[in-house]
Amino acid sequence: MEAVGALQEGGVAAVPGVAADDLVVVLFRAEAARLVSLARFFVDDRTAAEDLVQEAFIRLARSTSRIRDRERAAAYLRSIVINLARDHNRRGLVSLRHRPPAQPDEPSAEDTVAGEHARQEVVAAVRALPRRQRDCVALRYYLELPVEEIARTLGLSPNSVKTHLRRGLRALATTLEEER
């Protein structure tokens, strides 16, 4: 339990002595809900988002013995979720052609307050961005990660992340102004 408190205060780096099995538990307690939110940003179905996060933790658990830098475990986990979401969407494109459109999930209180229509416009605009811009924007403004953490998660340099963020925000502004 002490490890969980340390993780919440200072990240995985604050608990370098955590055993491999405990690392997965600590990360699950600290990151699972945020990762579902992140996956939900990329896929339309909450159940699919939860499944993607569950699969990410399974993959992390299988590879904990190979993780040399515990400080990067959370970034590694986020990159697994993003990659699984991409794969899910690729597979979904084929099946979308052969089935009726899925019904959206029941809106949450946050969606209702923020305005469902406006939220859908923003999400659609973010999803239309090129892959790297979309990933950087989602990690920065949805998970509120610092540029350095985004760079570790995506395997990019901080300057590259800043460039993708700048271009993504410019494209979003253009797209959203055209829709109004």
pLDDT tens-digit map of 69-126: 888 889 989 999 999 998 888 765 445 455 555 555 665 565 565 577 777 888 889 9
pLDDT tens-digit map of 151-160: 999 999 999 9
Rounded Cα distance, 156 and 158, in Å: 6
Higher pLDDT, 167 or 88: 167
Q: What is the pLDDT of residue 18?
A: 55
Using the predicted structure, report yes or no on whether residue 13 has a pLDDT greater than 50.
no
Q: What is the pLDDT of residue 90?
A: 76
> Measuring CA to CA, how many Å separate 11 from each of 18, 30, 59?
12, 9, 20
As a whole-number percent, the residues of the chain with pLDDT over 70 amount to: 74
Within the chain, residue ranges assigned H as helices are: 2-10, 20-42, 46-63, 73-96, 109-114, 116-127, 131-137, 147-154, 158-179
Among positive and negative, which fits the CA dihedral 31, 37, 43, 49? Answer: positive
Q: Grade residue 166 by pLDDT with cuts at 50, 70 and 90.
A: very high
Whole-number average pLDDT of the chain: 80
- Rg (C-alpha) for the chain, rounded Å, is 17
Q: Grade residue 14 by pLDDT with cuts at 50, 70 and 90.
A: very low
Q: What is the pLDDT of residue 89?
A: 80
The average pLDDT across 5-32 equals 63
Rounded Cα distance, 1 and 147, in Å: 30
Using the predicted structure, report yes or no on whether residue 17 has a pLDDT greater than 80.
no
Structure tokens at 142: 């949805």
Q: Which domains does the chain have, with CATH numbers?
A: 1-99 (1.10.1740), 113-180 (1.10.10.10)
Rounded Cα distance, 24 and 19, in Å: 9
